[in-house]
Amino acid sequence: MIKVEKLSKKFGNNEVLHDISTEIAKGEVVSIIGPSGSGKSTFLRCMNMLETPTSGKILIENKDLTDSKTPIHKVRQQIGMVFQHFHLFPHLTVLENLTYAPMKAKGIKKPVAEEKARQLLKKVGLSEKEKAYPGSLSGGQKQRVAIARALAMEPELMLFDEPTSALDPEMVKEVLDVMKDLAKSGMTMVVVTHEMGFAREVADRILFLDHGVLLEEGQPAEFFTQPKTVRAKEFLDKIL
């Protein structure tokens, strides 16, 4: 479904991603881990062209995002993104947060968008919050709304950038549980995370980034018990 070919990204002279190639299959859950500053967010942002690669290609369902003829806004509609800091619309209710983009970008009629939104709120356990404003919600609730909002666009692919890093510890599980359900439902997911439990249990594959280089790629059971590189071993020793 996704093919990354020799992707590089520079900010000025600073090469943040170096020659990354990988493929992600439909329904696969891939976790990206690595030290702070290793290029994880930049890699994720390249996948929906929030950042423009300096060189290399990214193909999503055979559409080359780096080709200027590809309609990026159309491709982006198929890609949901969830950030560390939620990015909800503060002046809209929870329900309106979910219906806004489907109505605006896809021309879905309000009653249809609302019905879909209510289904999704039920799925993330927040049916009773549809009239609430984001400001009145806990961090865990906000993040569940953000996930539901991304799903309201019926994406083919979901990108998560440290979705639980800004949460109080007691709220991490409710968000990870929603992500686990989503993974089980067959969604293709790329998840940057420091939650090694999640990566180990839910991911089909781990990508380990270090200084912008894809140093290791493998199944969680293998990566966590027998990392191939010294850098990965050092990283795991620090956090596990």
Neighbours of 239 (CB within 10 A): 9
Taking the C-alpha atoms of residue 209 and residue 30, their distance in angstroms, rounded to an integer, is 13
The partner in contact with residue 188, picked from Mg ion, ligand ADP, none with C-beta cut-offs of 5 to 8 angstroms by kind, is none
**37 counts as binding ligand ADP under rule CB under 6 A:** yes
Q: Which two tokens stand for residue 170?
A: 């007691």
Q: Which of 2, 28, 39, 153 binds ligand ADP (CB under 6 A)?
A: 39
Looking at 61-167, which runs of residues are DSSP E strands?
63-64, 79-82, 157-161
Taking the C-alpha atoms of residue 232 and residue 240, their distance in angstroms, rounded to an integer, is 12
**36 counts as binding ligand ADP under rule CB under 6 A:** yes
**16 counts as binding ligand ADP under rule CB under 6 A:** yes
Of 152 and 203, the one with the shorter C-beta distance to Mg ion is 203
Span near ligand ADP by CB under 6 A; candidates 32-40, 55-63, 103-111, 220-228: 32-40
Q: Which of 38, 41, 48, 143 binds Mg ion (CB under 5 A)?
A: 41
Q: Which of 41, 48, 164, 193 binds ligand ADP (CB under 6 A)?
A: 41
**42 counts as binding ligand ADP under rule CB under 6 A:** yes
Residues that bind ligand ADP in the complex, under the rule CB under 6 A: 11, 16, 34, 36-42
